[in-house]
Structure 1
């Protein structure tokens, strides 16, 4: 049976993660942190690989979060520890912030180090002790790395005395996090994940125009329609920096250059055929996916605004087909999850995230959740694969400072 996934009206899970971070900080440093900041993972309802093409995306934040309990230092030293699923703390070697440089830090510590490196360029290099705790599944395509980076960015900014960021500042922080991911960690990600983690709100999906930065909060209350979004984590890990993600991005950038465009966003549906005819064969599927996916985002938003949520299923299906056949980023595990979910009553299903593993989502009737979950689990067992992890996703709040309910100083 899928795990429960509480929404923001029930903040118990969020408070528990913050309390775990505070307790781990106290155990590590023998004092209370100055504060706790947290950021969520995300599910992208639709709009995949459109973000780095200046297009449209439609994510929502998960209740699963990464919390950063942090205290300021005055010696420009950054220490970072993370609390594992087994309850053990793993500490990175202390880092002197002015000495940080790309490729100098390996493993998970590169993510917080990259954020500190970028913020040092903004004059924020005082130093900090940070302890991380959270429950965003790693390697699941649910943006655990960006949740970590956003939590660390807000913590370092908060410790530097920066006020709670407004929308324009959140957009800037998202770009800083992208800079850290692209140029320090070496993963060529777009702006979807950071922006979703920072700007999503409870009970809404975020309709984001990546080019302009304009975003609308579109109501998304699946439960009111008797529906749920079931997340199926295939538990097959992927890495953007080591996979074909970069190849796809370079391909779309090359196609835009050949067409004399700033980005593939500039191709409307009515101009797709002519654009494809002007490109070499190997680039046509990439372009076809991006252009049709942008249109699918617009179509889903239109249906949601018309209170026709149950009708978005075919668009989710078409998105998966496009990612499987044109963008070629799906996997047998993802395809099986999508196929079995559909065969057992899902209104629509697709892989979500960067691809090459990770998670699928399915729009399902509440009455069918357990049936679909059991069918997918059995299909994986029959295939000889590790059982998937499933949960019902509830659109939740974005990143921010946690209230002082867990013993942190204000």
Structure 2
């Protein structure tokens, strides 16, 4: 997963503590959902929407953070940052500094102001965008000279140990490693990454992101329960992870574990199929695999919800080549692969269906494969 630094980045701290800005994108996972913690394969791409942090070094060893989405500020000694502290959104940011310090890197106090265009709780990885923006800022400000692998590791540890969300590493890798015009084939077993050309507009297509406005919180236990089931299934099979399992291996599992494991095993296979199609220039043929992914996530993994199912069903009926939920689930967003000539029809159909169901109007936008985290100014 190692990545060379982007051209134009320098390693010098901001002169005299002058605030500088860094940003990191949210992401959409084209396919490969809920397999990153099973050492599986994922295929995310970065969004144009980004979280921006303005940061400077504090000589007093304190962590002070403000966000345009929250009232008040978080202010505490960096020595007080650790599992469960600080609570709330600031834990994602402060946790990165804690993880870097735990890894032996010389990180001190920081003053941080956060602005974001990545929708919160929409399944587009707003938390990883925040973590990764802070990570590249800390790397620059303290002259750490770390590669993107080290930064991603710190971000994952922040979310797992400080925030308490049992996420895998796909979101952070996407936010740090993606390049414009590509999806990132990420092997979460060994960290290997490959840029896969992915420019839907060149094929007369668009990837629509449909934010249902149903908000989720991955630290509420349901996400962790799915991860625990996957680990339990692997242990029952005597395997280090479900990455090593074939469909026939799952027959001896009890019903609940069987369903969870079947999703993981078949989803990893779907990622391989999608990558083969993209390598062959056959993006239009990806649609049925998106449909199959959603069926597996809704049925075997039970992480969809009525709003996501509605968005997917209506998008397909209105002309999408395929559609599925994306992200951790229990709300958030769906994606639809749509001919450019059908974008307006699909958008209108989804919004009309939500209105008839008495639901909040979904936000629908085209997703452009974009660049990963970097220093802005």
Q: Compute the TM-score of the two structures, normalised by the length of structure 2.
A: 0.93
Q: Kindly indicate whether residue 78 of structure 2 is the aligned counterpart of residue 103 of structure 1.
A: no
The alignment covers a number of residue pairs equal to 361
* C-alpha contact (below 8 Å) 1:33/1:69 kept by paired residues: no
Q: Which runs of 4+ in 1 moved over 4 A?
A: none
Matching of residues 237-386 of structure 1 within 5 Å: 237-267=215-245, 271-273=246-248, 275-386=249-360
* C-alpha contact (below 8 Å) 1:42/1:62 kept by paired residues: yes
Counterparts of 2:27 and 2:138, CA distance in 1: 22
**Which ranges in structure 2 are unaligned for 5 or more consecutive residues?**
1-15
Q: In structure 1, what is the equivalent of residue 38 of structure 2? A: 53
* C-alpha contact (below 8 Å) 2:50/2:116 kept by paired residues: yes
Residue among 206, 209, 220 paired with 1:228? 206
> In angstroms, what is the RMSD of aligned CA positions?
1.3
Displacement of 1:32 in angstroms is 7.8
Deviations 1:299-343 (Å, cap 9, x if unpaired)?
000000000000000000000000000001000000000000000
* C-alpha contact (below 8 Å) 2:120/2:126 kept by paired residues: yes
Counterparts of 2:71 and 2:139, CA distance in 1: 24
Q: In structure 1, what is the equivalent of residue 370 of structure 2? A: 396
Counterparts of 1:56 and 1:315, CA distance in 2: 15
Matching of residues 34-183 of structure 1 within 5 Å: 34-84=19-69, 90-121=71-102, 122-163=104-145, 165=146, 169-183=147-161
Counterparts of 1:77 and 1:124, CA distance in 2: 14
- Closer, same or farther: CA 243–383 of 1 in aligned 2, 3 Å: farther
- Secondary structure at the aligned position of 1:94 is classed as strand
- Secondary structure at the aligned position of 1:158 is classed as helix
- Secondary structure at the aligned position of 2:108 is classed as coil
* C-alpha contact (below 8 Å) 2:17/2:57 kept by paired residues: no
- Secondary structure at the aligned position of 2:113 is classed as strand
Displacement of 1:247 in angstroms is 0.7
Of residues 242-251 and 315-324 in structure 1, the stretch that sits farther from structure 2 once superposed is 242-251
- Secondary structure at the aligned position of 1:142 is classed as coil
Q: In structure 2, what is the equivalent of residue 6 of structure 1? A: none
- Secondary structure at the aligned position of 1:90 is classed as coil
- Secondary structure at the aligned position of 1:101 is classed as coil
Displacement of 1:101 in angstroms is 2.3
Counterparts of 2:259 and 2:310, CA distance in 1: 22
* C-alpha contact (below 8 Å) 2:26/2:118 kept by paired residues: yes
**Which ranges in structure 1 are unaligned for 5 or more consecutive residues?**
1-30, 405-410
Displacement of 1:118 in angstroms is 1.2
